[in-house]
A and B are shown apart, each in its own frame.
Chain A
Amino acid sequence: MKQYKVLHVSPTPLVDSPRKISVALDSYTEFESNHFIFTDYPGSIKGIFSNNSLLYSTQKDLIHTLIENADIIHIHNFLYPEQEEIIFNNSKSDTKFVYQAHSPLREGPNFVDYVPKMINFDKRCVVAQYHPRLYSTYTMLPNIVLENPYLNLIKDSEVPKVLFSPAHKRTGGRWNDKYSNELFIALKSLESLDKIEMIVAENYKPFELFQLRKQCHISIDEIVTGAFHQISLESLFAGNVTINNSDIFSKLAMEVTINSREEIPFYKANNHNIKDKLLFLVQNYELMREYQLKSFKFAKTYLQPDKLINLYTNMYKEVLDNV
């Protein structure tokens, strides 16, 4: 029996990120961990990210027991006041509360810093990607990928397969935008020249998407905001060339969090230069293989879940010691 119990809670699946942390905790550490979500995403992505999560509406009693037994409750992004009440009323009096931010400020869903009514957080954390600049005093923690690193180096006889899987086409935000016309034009024109095989994946389940990614050579995250997302991390694991427009401080935040001596091997491109950069890349097989190998090595050396999860356990221990 494990010594401490952690419970991860999120209002929505948050593209499966809290569950992965919970699974890694449970598998590799002395912390027992569970995860549940209050509601699933609506519309076409309903069920896609919530497959392996407990859903509050269907498992109330079980979840109340989990809340009651938890030594640490880790709340992701925010809770509605009525959800906070459920957690607060069912938890033990000495339960520690940890918060982790997953969304930007000044745009949806959070807009402003999450400050709950009743719960006092013992620690405030933030995903170590672009977010820390907005939450500069929060403890940075990396997102976790559970899959095994994989490498499928492109052969000279193959046409590079490019995977693009934008979650939505909304624009008007600073950090939430994903879609760019320039990128689409560049991809379309390269496809019509038979330089690439373009694969646009929408509404894939995470594990399906990863299987698909393993068959590809290049993954495009987004090139609009200067951020990178879970897609980029998965692309490193799948041994793909990872294209995004990650600005220097988004990358640095991740690097210093995971204690990496090297730079994360992203292939940087933006709306201004995507055409040239992409054309240059797909004509240069050596370069593609170099980036693929770098991705694979980086994932293997720095991003393995058994290693990264220690950052979480260290933080939990700090919280538990701090009576």
Chain B
Amino acid sequence: MSFGKKLNKLKRDPQKFFKDMKIFKKVEPKKVEPKKVEPKKVEPSVIAKVNIFDHDLEVTHFKKKVINSSLGYSTLFITADSGDYLINKRVIGEIIRNKDFIALREKSIYYILEKDFREYGIYDNSKIFNIFLRNKILRSNLFSEFRNIVVHNPSTETFVFFRNTNPFLKTICMVDSQESLNFLKNHVKSIDVLIILEYFDLSEFNSVPRIIKIETDIVHFKVKKNKYGLKPFVNTYSQIIDSADKKFVNALKIALIDTSYKKDFNLFLPIVCHTDNLPNIDEYNKDMTIQGLVKYRYKSKNKIKHNNFMAMIDNIIIEELYLRDNLYSLYKDLILLSTYKNNYKALLIRTLEDGVNYEAI
């Protein structure tokens, strides 16, 4: 009502005017239907289920589109479907309870449940190929939103399948069982980060780009019986595992930062260099299509004919090598090993396999 009309009303019927004023008007409280509160979802999001047969692998995919609201962190956690709540599982329980890190919150981690299979290794390479030929879900690039695959003590090739669906997925394997580690020896190429208890023998995992070792109190086991026959204090296995789980999750956080997060200043870092500076490094830094810089020479005087790529790489000597910051985080341990051995072949092969683009300098 306009001011003029209100003034007229005041003149005409002052009593009604004041009675009708908003501040005196009794407002009938609206009847609010009590809101039905959905029971709080305890279980995290399951994105797919994998059923393993003798000859086949069946994937049921639940979500069409995943909204990635996690700064580029997005992770698939593959775990055996034991019928129990996920929160009761080792490591996953730690992850679900851990709310302080964005990459571990809901909508950052989705779960793939696979049929509980306790045997180690189900498929040979021929079966893996044939399953890929037929399986529409594996072929359809449905998981391209994701950056990481996480597995804990894997016993099946499921993570190999999912890693191969997209060239940009990285696998983080957490291992504290010797059987699982033995199984993984056949799939070293499919591991990008290995998080592992420190006392395992890793001699066959030299080409894994990133290895995070977890300290344990397991050392007490080793001195269980000394030469005097005394038994020093021994931690129980469950105690060790309990503290190990927390350490696993902390290591996972580090791994996820390394594999996922794109830095704003993703500059070239020197891996091998003999000169003090590269004159046009600023130009290279700006051109984000280049991920690695390399200067090489041949061992022999001339370029010689080679049968295969490995032999070709064998015959070149790296004189200078630069990698982008994010790649440095990804290949940290392989770089350390290469520098220690002064041999960059394994690093070069692995980065090339992963699709790193090198420019000659």
| Chain A contacts to B: CB under 8 angstroms | 78, 80-81, 104-108, 110-117, 126, 132-140, 172-175, 226, 245, 247-249, 252-253, 255-257, 259-261, 270-273
Contact A252:B312 (CB < 8 A) given known A139-B307, A270-B287: yes
Q: A136-B309, A140-B306, A248-B358 are in contact. Are A113 and B125 (CB under 8 A)?
A: yes
Does B349 contact A256, Cβ atoms closer than 8 Å?
Answer: no
Are B125 and A112 in contact, with the CB atoms below 8 A?
yes
Asked if B126 and A117 make an inter-chain contact with CB atoms under 8 angstroms apart, the answer reads yes
With CB as the reference atom, state the residue of chain B lying closest to A132.
Answer: B309
* Interface residue B166 (Cβ < 8 Å from any Cβ of A): yes
- Pair B129/A113 contact, Cβ less than 8 Å: yes
Residues of B within 8 A of A111 (CB): 132, 138-139, 164-165
Closest to A128 in B: B309
Complex Cα gap A111–B130 (Å): 11
Q: Does B355 contact A (CB under 8 A)?
A: yes
From B141, B289, B309, A133 is in contact (CB under 8 Å) with B309
Q: Is the CB of A256 within 8 A of B163?
A: no
Q: Specify which chain A residues have a CB less than 8 angstroms from the CB of B294 in the assembled complex.
A: 248
Contact A247 B359 (CB under 8 A): yes
Chain B interface helix/strand/loop/mixed? mixed
Contact of A272 among B165, B287, B309 (CB under 8 A): B287
Instruction: Tell me whether A107 and B302 are in contact (CB under 8 A).
Output: no
Pick the contact of A256: B126, B129, B304 (CB < 8 A): B304
- Contact status A273-B355, CB under 8 Å: no
Residues of B within 8 A of A78 (CB): 129, 133
B48, CB-defined interface residue at 8 Å:
no
Q: In the bound complex, what is the Cα–Cα distance between A62 and B73 (angstroms)?
A: 56
A231 nearest CB across to chain B (Å): 19
Residues of B within 8 A of A137 (CB): 308-310
User: Quick one: closest A residue to B125, CB to CB?
Assistant: A115
Determine the distance from Cα of A187 to Cα of B302 in the docked complex, in whole angstroms: 39
Interface of chain B residues 279 through 303 with chain A (CB within 8 A): 286-290, 294, 302-303
Q: Contact string, B327-352, partner A, CB cutoff 8 A, digits 1/0?
A: 00000000000000000000001001
State whether B129 touches A114 (Cβ < 8 A).
yes
Q: A253-B309, A271-B289 are in contact. List 13 more A-B contacts (CB 8 A).
A: A112-B132, A115-B125, A132-B308, A132-B309, A133-B349, A134-B353, A139-B307, A172-B144, A249-B352, A256-B303, A256-B312, A261-B303, A272-B286
29 inter-chain pairs at a CB distance below 8 angstroms, sorted by A residue, are A78-B133, A81-B130, A105-B164, A106-B167, A107-B166, A111-B164, A113-B125, A113-B129, A115-B129, A116-B126, A133-B309, A136-B308, A136-B309, A137-B308, A137-B309, A137-B310, A140-B308, A173-B167, A247-B357, A247-B358, A249-B358, A252-B312, A253-B309, A253-B312, A256-B312, A257-B305, A259-B305, A272-B286, A273-B287
Q: How far is the CB of A123 from chain B (nearest CB, A)?
A: 10
CA distance A136 to B141 in the complex (A): 25
Residue of B with least CB distance to A107:
B167
Residues of chain A within 8 A of B286, CB atoms compared: 272
Nearest A residue to B304, CB-CB: A256
Q: Which residues of B contact A (CB under 8 A)?
A: 124-126, 128-130, 132-133, 138-139, 141, 144, 160, 163-168, 286-290, 294, 302-310, 312-313, 349, 352-353, 355, 357-360
How far is it, in angstroms, between the C-alpha of A114 and the C-alpha of B127 when the chains are bound? 10
Contacts of A175 in B (CB 8 A): 167, 355
Question: Would you give the shortest CB distance from A210 to chain B, in whole angstroms?
Answer: 28
Contact, CB under 8 Å: A256 / B306: yes
Q: CB-CB < 8 A to A174: which residues of B?
A: 167-168, 355
Is the beta-carbon distance between A80 and B313 smaller than 8 angstroms?
no
Q: Do A133 and B353 have beta carbons less than 8 Å apart? A: yes
Q: CB distance A117 to B306 under 8 Å?
A: no
Determine which residue in A112, A245, A253 has the highest number of CB atoms from chain B within 10 A of its CB, and name it: A112
- Given contacts A115-B124, A174-B168, A270-B289, are A255 and B303 in contact (CB under 8 A)? yes
B293 nearest CB across to chain A (Å): 10
> How far, in angstroms, from A22 to B144 measured CA to CA in the complex?
38
